[in-house]
Amino acid sequence: MNRFVLLLILCSATAFPLACDKASPAGVTQSQSNRPTTIPAVSVAPSTTAPAVANVTPAPAPALAAPQNYPFRVVELRGDGTQMGEQHGKALGKPMKLLFDKFLSQYLPSPKVRFMAMVAAMGFEPKILPEHREEIQALAKASGMSLGDAMLGQCFLDLTPMMACSTVTLPADASPDHVARFGRNLDFPSFNVADKYSVLFIYHPAGRYQFAAIGWPGLTGVLSGMNEYGLCLANMEVSRSAGTGNGMPYILMYRMVLERCKTVDEAIDLLQKTPRQTPNNLMLMDAAGNRAVCEITPQSVVVRRGEPGAALISTNHQRGQDYDTAGRCWRFDYLHATTAAEYGKIDLPGVEALLAHVVQGDDGDFTLQSIVFEPSTRVLYLTTGSDAPSKPFARIDLKGYFDWKGLRD
């Protein structure tokens, strides 16, 4: 199949430019203009090249507190790739099929485009780590889906260009309670389907670090997550051309980072050593409060680090070492100006207010997940659904889920 023709079809059929294309608050939609303008004063590689990780065998799970009444599912997966894929498919096979039938049928709007995307997705298979490949194969079998569809679930984001999502990381002295925090909005077209099926996955992979990831049924990679050592990450889409099969699907590359790295510096080193497929921005923060944005392309990883006394922000443009120039993204500009003005007073409700202001879509309907990570405490706050940050954030203490090795080190 001619790859150039395939890319033309995918690019023309599935590009989703969002509100980030508006350069300043003058371009804010009516629903966005109703958001608070300030924070309230007080309450506000190919697998053979991937580095090895030390053997970390999960201990028996500690007793968990009584299940919480969260508005999203929490699914724990344990063991090797095959075991976790089987558990995933058995637990979430029904909503996984629904998402493929109801969501991808609109995201990839014709049988021809979907078929061609599935063929392109299979081209990524040799680039996937063996343990992840085994997991995807077991997931397909346990859920009753084809391997091609299961692979497409891991790769369709690499095949389609779009611009979405916002992140802000704040050092401990930005808040009166001296807790460093990482705020993240995940923005994506829902088609009145994806907003209803968010899942908090807790992974206990044999021989690798444990981590939590916020995703959807059928997704084995990571868009937003925290591991047992407190390393957190979240991606943002950037303007790009579509591409096929030249490196690991990016959500699986980010999963590899959480499974193998404890710190921001370790994560950067692994990203630089791993063949990369898709341009992306990736925000990183660790338990010590180190922060960095990695602006990723197939050719390089440009790192912009957090500076003392200031927020580190990323949206949908690759800016190099430019922290300050306004006019490219109204969300970046708002977060930059507001965190500077309110620095020292930005507590947990303040981070939530920041996220509420920078939603995307009509009435925030593209903002499907909002998260605040506290890497030093292994706590995250999560809300899901259309206009996610308008809803209450649920507090999840991952110390109740993670086995204890990383917390003792």
Query: What DSSP assignment string belongs to 16-52?
Result: EE-GGG--SGGG--HHHHTS-SS--SS----GGGSPP
Task: Please give the C-alpha separations between residue 296 and each of 213, 215, 232, in angstroms, as whole numbers.
Answer: 21, 21, 17
Q: By mean pLDDT, which of 41-45, 261-265, 338-342 is the weakest?
A: 41-45
pLDDT at 178: 98
- Residue 168 pLDDT exceeds 60: yes
The residue with greater pLDDT, 154 or 61, is: 154
In this prediction, residue 120 has a pLDDT band, given cuts at 50, 70 and 90, of confident
Q: Which residues of 183-204 are buried (b: 16+ CB within 10 A; e: fewer)?
A: bbbbbbbbeebbbbbbbbbbbb
pLDDT at 124: 87
pLDDT at 123: 84
Say how far apart CA 348 and CA 374 lie, in whole Å: 10
- Residue 130 pLDDT exceeds 60: yes
What tens digit of pLDDT does each residue of 50-95 get? Answer: 444 433 333 334 333 334 678 899 999 999 999 999 999 999 999 9
In this prediction, residue 159 has a pLDDT band, given cuts at 50, 70 and 90, of confident
Q: Ranked by mean pLDDT, which of 114-128, 145-159, 335-349 comes out on top?
A: 335-349
pLDDT at 406: 52
Say how far apart CA 4 and CA 34 lie, in whole Å: 43
The residue with greater pLDDT, 45 or 223, is: 223
**What percentage of the chain exceeds 70 in pLDDT?**
81
Short-list 329, 339, 345, 330, CA closest to 306:
339
Query: Residue 136 corresponds to which amino acid?
Result: I
**What percentage of the chain exceeds 90 in pLDDT?**
67
Arithmetic mean of pLDDT over the chain: 84
pLDDT at 64: 37
What tens digit of pLDDT does each residue of 380-400 get? Answer: 999 999 999 999 999 999 999
CA atoms within 13 A on the CB side of 178: 0
The residue with greater pLDDT, 341 or 406, is: 341
Mean pLDDT, rounded, for 136-152: 94
- pTM, rounded to two decimals: 0.86
pLDDT at 35: 44
Instruction: Go through the domains of the chain in sequence order and give each one's CATH number.
Output: 3-18+74-159 (no CATH), 20-47+162-408 (3.60.60.10)
Say how far apart CA 2 and CA 190 lie, in whole Å: 31
Q: Is 10 exposed, middle or buried (0-12, 13-18, 19+ CB in 10 A)?
A: buried
Helix residue spans in 173-277 (DSSP H): 250-260, 264-273
- Residue 228 pLDDT exceeds 60: yes
Mean pLDDT, rounded, for 166-184: 98
Encoding tokens for residue 93? 């096979």
Task: Please give the C-alpha separations between residue 196 and each of 53, 192, 193, 384, in angstroms, as whole numbers.
Answer: 36, 8, 6, 8
pLDDT at 262: 98
Mean pLDDT, rounded, for 157-175: 90
